[in-house]
Structure 1
Amino acid sequence: MDIPSSPGKFKEKRTKWHKTLPKLTFWSILFCGVIYFLFFRTPSSFSSDARRSLRTYTYGGAAWENKVISSARVASKNGVSVLVTGAAGFVGSHVSIALKRRGDGVLGLDNFNDYYDPSLKRGRQALLERTGVFIVEGDINDAALLKKLFDIVPFTHVMHLAAQAGVRYAMQNPGSYVHSNIAGFVNLLEVCKAVDPQPAIVWASSSSVYGLNTKVPFSEKDRTDQPASLYAATKKAGEEIAHTYNHIYGLSLTGLRFFTVYGPWGRPDMAYFFFTKDILKGKPIPIFEAANHGTVARDFTYIDDIVRGCLGALDTAEKSTGSGGKKTGPAQLRVFNLGNTSPVPVNNLVTILEKLLKVKAKRNIMRLPRNGDVQFTHANISYAKKEFGYKPTTNLETGLKNFVRWYLNYYSAGKKADE
């Protein structure tokens, strides 16, 4: 048997191969999945949700263009013009309002899909309109629409928050995640690379990219090649796609890994939201626990803290270095954790809601299912703090108090709480 002259080197090569194998496996599976969904599945095989997101929209005309121009007009001396995708979403609506109120020009884009009841998105839209933000109804996969918007307004920045959200829904409709989080992101970057001047782009990644990591708190330097869900895999793919467009085309790109965002106008599919609804209706709520009765905890981050992080990332984003699709020099590429740094057991979340709602919850303790959920999340935010002074200030009890007040006011005004 041939034995290497240097056993140490042989061992080192074997170790490197073992470390590389999981990455190769992950990217091979993801690549095959993307090819399958984009090329081998017929349109009829996508679920109704995916088909609805592909519908065409009516836009154009003098009145429409005037609304676009007016909304994107900068009002302050040092303001910037920002295209916000997913503007009718939870984070998107809050960020849009904050940008507009400080004097930036803001134009929203949203397809108002029905992943959850669109009436809540329409409510956010009405709120935005009162603030002076116009939302164009359209899809990020519509290249012609994106090009038209950039023809009308030379946006300096893009805040890309549009995405197919939710970990568990990916098991029902995986195609929608590839369509929105991968194909949609690529389509946006293709348009941005070609315009002149290129905008700086801040976009929403996710804390879910940390997947099966057991080291806490999660740091941007940790490995992110072990996703526990398709949603996480598409967000990880987005980070690699961002690197590619930065490297080839000089696009300035900043990714933000959000940690369990909550607050007023939130998403009905999030636990704190449907817990509130079911507690008030006297329905049992599922409390998950890990193996051996392990605690499930989340780094709940209040929406106002997330908004400050988004604005800080946007304000420190450097200009892209490409021109007409050609790179002229190195461009900024960053990724930040935006969390609260204080993980709270889900049981404690329910206890706080019971206190605020003055109703005892019917807890149904269940084993954490194998549907992509992880046992805990915990953010290391030192990088964001260093770069733009990110510092969350809202504890969970205060944040939930604000949410419950909004929830009771919103649904007592005749709105349905059956999302």
Structure 2
Amino acid sequence: MSQARLRLWSAVHRWTSLIATTLLLLTCVTGLPLIFHDEIEDWLDPPPARQQPAADAVAPALDALVARALAAHPGHVAVSLGFSRPAPGSTEPPTVVIATGPDPQAPFAQLRRHTFDLRDGTLLQLPPPRTGGFMDTVLELHKNLLAGLPGALLLGAMGLLLVASVVSGVVVYGPFMRKLRFGTVRAGRRARWLDLHNLVGIGIAAWLLVVGTTGAINTLHDPIAAHWRAEVLPQMTGPYRGLPPPGRIGSIDAAVATARAAAPGMEVQSVFLPGTNFATPHHFGVYLRGATPLSMRILKPALVDAATGTLSDIREMPWYVKALFVSQPLHFGDYGGLPMKWMWLVLDLLAIAVLVSGLYLWAVRRRRVAEVPPSRPRGESEAATEGSPSTWRMPKLLALCICAGLGVACVTTDAALKWAADLALAIPLAVVFWFVLRGLRR
């Protein structure tokens, strides 16, 4: 690499980092409690103890449960049903949350929710959902800076700057480290900060790329959902265009059975009643999911004729919707169980350390501190290499471990493979901490 190119990549790394640092620090800090969002919510509002159903209990019909929910709120209509299936080994019962409202397009705040145990139809007295509390505020800050879509798009741009910063940092890492062994932490205040910044940054670079890319994609949630409803959903209902809605809708149980028969091996995630946002005036919108940690986040829509109960259309989601579905678990790390959440917490803290150390190094450079690393690439001949194979051996291994851990955890429910995925993700953390502690002791 020529000296001019090295200077260009260094400038890209410096300025993309500086522009995004403030908002990236905010997202990292707000992301810390969100990693344990479910656990914090359960701690703030402990779920009530649930009795085991009687041995002769009969699973209730969904139509009967909807009728019970509507009886509690005269004048309401059914809006949606959301199903929760417990993970293998969990003591939680399978439940359905039935939302009702004054009309099919009622805003979220006007909906009333009723949670039933699917084993025997018991109405579960759950605490009302928290709105406007601490966790909701943190989530909105993390998603859109409390500024709606413009805030979300701004954060998406910061995510892309993070990706550019990581890529440019990896590019300049080779020339900088070509005379230093991996994990070297030299004496001197600025040199030590610089070496620790490089060590931690290259150690978690693969994770930063994943989180930055998926975070940028997640900020497009609302535009993607609106585009799908406006462009794809009408394509699935072409023959019904211009027809009046049915005078009476059929059975929800029959619609669910029809959708299940059309997608063997998948389970129902949610059902939207005719006239709601994710259905049509003529159809039930039944959304199915797979069985693996990743495929259960990728929904497949089925439209079932509300009058006849026959299948009108079922199709895969477009690639951009699938990209959004995949990005959500990969960004928050909530698909691999509690061990992965703890590692996500550590990785988030390391990302904060990289951002803070980078800001410190920039400030020191501006004050023209006299101490300059002697191995900084200078001159055309010194900058003509991108690093020897030994320079990249350990960073490649750490990146491979991170990718393997994230990938395996996505596609398996096997306990042994999940432990293997956790181990693969833990290796880079152990290596980084070993070299950091060794360097700090010097």
TM-score, normalised to structure 1, is: 0.24
Choose between structure 1 and 2 for higher RCO, CA contacts under 8 A separated by at least 6 residues.
2
Q: Which has the larger radius of gyration?
A: 2
Larger % of helix: which?
2
TM-score, normalised to structure 2, is: 0.23
